[in-house]
A and B are shown apart, each in its own frame.
Chain A
Amino acid sequence: MNEILSIILKDTYSLTSLKHRLRILQSYFLKTFFGEIETSVNMPLSPQDSNWLKSLPSSFYQKFNKDNIYNIFSGLEKIGTNTPILTMHLAFELNDTTLSQIGAFTRKTFDSPSLLLDIKVDPNLIAGTALSWKGVYRDYSLRAKLEQKRQELLEEFRKFLR
């Protein structure tokens, strides 16, 4: 089970994409095993998703069969909820390239190969990021910096207005 998850997590960095990928994988297998052959080939998938499915090694596909598919997916969901999650508040929405760059960086920094990012968009941050890790919330955003230097900034503005 862990082996399957680690293959999936190799290039899956956020919680939402993990959930999304598990879902498409499950429906792919369900259609392959229990559906008609034609439909399994013509699944309506986005190019990124079908590329991802194609990128998975054939040994990966061999682990699944009609009998174990339900057990594997319910097991994966259970393990998936226990993986360490770093909540990241950002002022903008990430594109896939940046997400994988940040994901790879955080995994290296936190020394945790299965770490997942939970991206939350909060435009109030202005710029930068706020992180919450194991219940501790740290704000590295521009908003927090401005808040911190509020008095100094107001003082400067007053000087300027005079």
Chain B
Amino acid sequence: MSSTQQTEVGYVVSSRDFLVYLDGLPTIKVNDMVESDTGLRGWVTSTFEDKIEVLMLDEGAIKPKQEFRRLTNRLGINVGDFLLGRAVNSLGVPIDGKGLLSRTKTNLNLELDREALGIESREFIANQFLTGITLIDTLIPLGRGQRELVLGDAHSGKTGFLIDIVVNQKNTGVICVLASIGKPAVVVRNLIDTLRLNKALDYNVIIATSSSEPPPLIFLTPKTAFTIAEYFQKKGKDVLLILDDLGSHAKIYREISLLSNKSPGRESYPGDMFYQHAHLLERAGNFLPEYGGGSITALPVIELSLSDFTTLIPTNLMSMTDGHLLFKAGLRSQGQTPAIDLSLSVSRVGRQTQDQMTNLLSTRVRQVLSAAADLETISRFSLELPPETQLILKRRELIMEILKQDPLTAIPKQIQAILLALPFTTFLQNKNRSFVEKYKVIISEAFLKHPQLIPITKSITKLKTDEELIKLLEAAGAVLAKLCP
């Protein structure tokens, strides 16, 4: 008997919303797919002695005793370069109205739920992931293959910051995979439009499920995103993966688990909540050439309520990532963009990827910032401050102004170092915050275009210490003074 004539079938024993239990299907495995006689697809999530649990991926009526057939393919999607510039849902169906993804029938089909590669495949993270944002690249640097959690209040500028990073990857060869998990359809539409307007769509793949779609489909979104990211990583590409956001992913998983009678734990999340996220994020990393050679830099996002990051999901995610960036709505309303709280943000991997000079410079800047934080309370009480204290407070003020960056702007790495070194030169000694605000852009451009300043910009890569840079900039003080009257 040929395989076309023999399949496995199961019959509906019970169903609850999108959750269906079937009997029959003797050799079914987890992550296999089944289809009802009316064409509704389901995904096998667990098997019991006498029945199997199926999550329905299509919406439709389920009747008692309805017949389900096992499908030959397991839960997976077709991947290929044709995904670039496209938006798909978690099953790889295009949602951007641009028609078919690919006309070839022999596409590579990858399983969604793959075990992360082991330690033998990993390589030391040695290259910096440049974002074009001064604050990140100098003070909280990211490495290629790092997992950095982005957490913050609603309206604290997280999405804008992420779009900036994506847009700044233009012409760098980095592939960006954006997963929009259970957001309103209009948000996804805006995201696509913003990227198109900034000519950033060509190196992007968007995986989006809207909040109105069946929960199992939303739950699969980050898995699909990782599968697509892994495809590009295996081709030796550096991939940036953004998961926006894992908070709604956790809520969807809680909904599914409660429906399937799993016992609720803390905040009613199921016991394997940590596993679900760790299992995902473990798939990011920097890989050896034998395993494709690329890297997956993952930026999972989570929205906090009332800046409280001590709840279950944020603390879970903090413990499974290599650092986090904490966004605060308060800082944003004070005019600080990106609104990252420097004292509460950390990168545990990025520092090893920075060059020595930037590393020393960022240590110097951090010292000023922490010293200023200590002195701030005293400065409120005394009118006459010693000159050293005044200098530290002034430098802090200038540094914070330099770190402010408008949306959709990229600052080259050399200029970032120059700008951060300037507060330590005599040129900015007697200047105030508004001076920096006014002339920041002019100074940046001058170091890229002015014939007398270009040699400094070019020589930065050869410098060993931050002091050498400050000395070089000291000499350029006269030229700068002319440019900034």
Contacts and interface: CB of A to CB of B under 8 A. Distances in A.
A139 B26 contact: no
Interface string A10-32: 00000000000000000000000
Contacts of B5: 138-140, 144, 148
Interface in B1-21: 1-2, 4-10
B25 interface: yes
Contact of A135 (B1, B4, B8): B8
A134 B23 CA distance: 9
Contacts of B4: 139, 144, 147-148
B24 A132 contact: yes
A161 interface: no
A137 interface: yes
Contacts of A147: 4
B9 A132 contact: yes
Interface in A119-162: 132, 134-140, 144, 147-148
B34 to A, nearest CB: 11
Contacts of B25: 135
A137 B69 contact: yes
A135 B10 contact: yes
B26 A134 contact: yes
Contacts of B24: 132, 134-135
A119 B5 CA distance: 19
| Residue of B5, B7, B67, B69 with highest tally of chain A CB at under 10 A | B5
A139 B10 contact: no
A147 B2 CA distance: 11
Give the dominant DSSP class at B's interface: strand
Interface size class of B (residues with CB under 8 A): 10 to 19
A138 B1 contact: yes
A134 B9 CA distance: 8
B471 to A, nearest CB: 79
A136 B8 contact: yes
A118 B49 CA distance: 23
Nearest to A136: B8
A144 to B, nearest CB: 5
A150 B116 CA distance: 43
A45 B30 CA distance: 49
Contacts of A144: 4-5
A136 B9 CA distance: 6
Contact of B26 (A87, A136, A140, A148): A136
Nearest to B24: A135
Interface string B22-63: 011110000000000000000000000000000000000000
A137 B6 contact: yes
B65 to A, nearest CB: 8
A144 B6 CA distance: 10
A140 B4 CA distance: 11
Contact of B8 (A87, A137, A148): A137
A136 B10 contact: no
Contacts of B8: 135-137
A87 B23 CA distance: 13
Contact of A148 (B2, B7, B10): B2
A82 to B, nearest CB: 11
A139 B23 contact: no
B39 to A, nearest CB: 14
Nearest to A134: B26
A136 B6 contact: yes
Contacts of A132: 9, 24, 67
A135 B69 contact: no
10 closest residue pairs by CB, A with B: A135-B24, A137-B9, A139-B5, A135-B26, A137-B7, A144-B5, A132-B9, A135-B25, A138-B6, A135-B8
A139 B6 contact: yes
A141 B278 CA distance: 49
A13 B367 CA distance: 87
Contacts of A148: 2, 4-5
